[in-house]
Structure 1
Amino acid sequence: MQTSKIRHQFYLPDDLSRALDELASKPGSSKTAILTDALRAWFDRKASNEIDERFGPRLDRQQRIAQRSEAMLGAIAEMLDLFVAHQLTLTAHQPPFDTETGQLGRQRYQQFIDQVARRLASNRGVPRLIAAIENNDDRKDIA
């Protein structure tokens, strides 16, 4: 009689052999069925590691992209914070535009860029901006 199964012979430690005998003694179960299920489960777990290996680098790359985007968003938020403060306090009463004012504008722009770079390097910018937003939210709750 032709069968679709292949016979295997192997040795089990005494404790595993006793556990297998105990499970196989229950009605409707056999050693072959138990070992088949156990091997399938083990191979399926191995396949999950393959998924991690295949998609892990992609997920790592996406995480790095998200971190760069977050850093860029932090830089933009810091620049906006500094620019608004600059516009509202330092340049409220500027003289009419001429050559001297153009040079002053370029000098102020360079100071602006230097200040943004210093604040980003010290990593103070975003937490300060978030704290200001949270304080405004707290004031709205009081009103």
Structure 2
Amino acid sequence: MEKAKDKVRHQLFLPRHLSDRLAALATRPGASKSSILVDALTAWLNRRGASDLEDRFAIRLDRLTQAIGRVDRDTYLLLETLALFIRFELAIQTPLAENDQAGRALGAKRFEAFVTQVARQVSTGRRTLAAKTDDGE
């Protein structure tokens, strides 16, 4: 329970219609003008604090939302490209014969070279689909 010395007296001027409503609320059992005003001011300050936080983080959240949208778009583009490439390759490549060991060895060698190239590109940070370089590639 708060002590009288922990409280500060304020003089407020309210419009007549608010003063009348406050007086009507204060006539209820257990209510007082001070307690009603303390509750109302506390609620208003809490909402204001939440609003300030929302205002401060809204810009950053909007930027993150846009970045996630770009990542989602780029991922969709990459997956669609990969799917179309695989469909194209499967449509034009004839399957290897069951006993074609030389063809399978060549395929394994090409796959290993492909994986090595991907690892090299990722480790150096280079991008194949990046904007044109200065040498016109």
- Alpha-carbon RMSD across the aligned residues, in angstroms, is 2.2
Q: Summarize the alignment of residues 30-109 of structure 1 with structure 2, pairs less than 5 Å apart.
A: 30-92=32-94
Q: Give deviations 1:112-134, integer Å, cap 9, x for gaps.
A: xxxxxxxxxxxxxxxxxxxxxxx
Letter in 1 for 2:11: Q
Offset, 1:65: 2.2
Offset, 1:12: 1.2
The one of the two structures with greater contact order (alpha-carbon pairs below 8 A, sep at least 6) is: 1
Question: Structure 1 stretches of 5 or more lacking a match?
Answer: 98-143
The percentage of aligned residue pairs carrying the same residue is: 37
Task: Give the whole-Å Cα distance in 1 for the aligned partners of 2:13 and 2:41.
Answer: 15
TM-score for both structures, normalised by structure 2: 0.60
Question: Structure 2 stretches of 5 or more lacking a match?
Answer: 96-102, 107-137
Q: Which one of the candidate residues 6, 31, 35 is aligned to 1:4?
A: 6
Letter in 2 for 1:65: A
Letter in 1 for 2:83: D
Offset, 1:54: 2.7
2:25 matches 1:23: yes
Q: Which has the higher helix share?
A: 1
Which consecutive aligned stretches of 4+ in structure 1 deviate over 3 angstroms post-superposition?
Answer: none
Letter in 2 for 1:48: A
Matched positions, count: 94
Offset, 1:61: 2.6
TM-score for both structures, normalised by structure 1: 0.58
Task: Give the whole-Å Cα distance in 1 for the aligned partners of 2:47 and 2:6.
Answer: 25
Offset, 1:32: 0.5
Offset, 1:90: 2.5
